[in-house]
Amino acid sequence: MNAISNLPTFAAVTVGQLRNTDTALNEIARAEVNITETASEVLQRMSFETDLYEIDLVVLASMHMKSRARKFSTVEICDQAKELGLIHCPPEAALQLWLENPEFLQIHASVILMMDSVSVSSGEELNFHLERRNSGRWLDTVRAEPTTLWNYWNRFLFAHSR
pLDDT confidence of residue 61? 80
Q: Average pLDDT, stretch 5-14?
A: 80
Of 63-67, 78-82, 96-100, 128-132, which gets the smallest average pLDDT?
63-67
Q: Average pLDDT, stretch 11-34?
A: 94
Of 47-61, 81-95, 117-131, 148-162, which gets the smallest average pLDDT?
148-162
Q: Average pLDDT, stretch 6-28?
A: 90
Other Cβ atoms less than 10 A from the Cβ of 25: the count is: 16
pLDDT confidence of residue 72? 86
pLDDT at 2 over 50: no
pLDDT confidence of residue 161? 63
pLDDT at 86 over 90: yes
Q: Average pLDDT, stretch 15-24?
A: 94
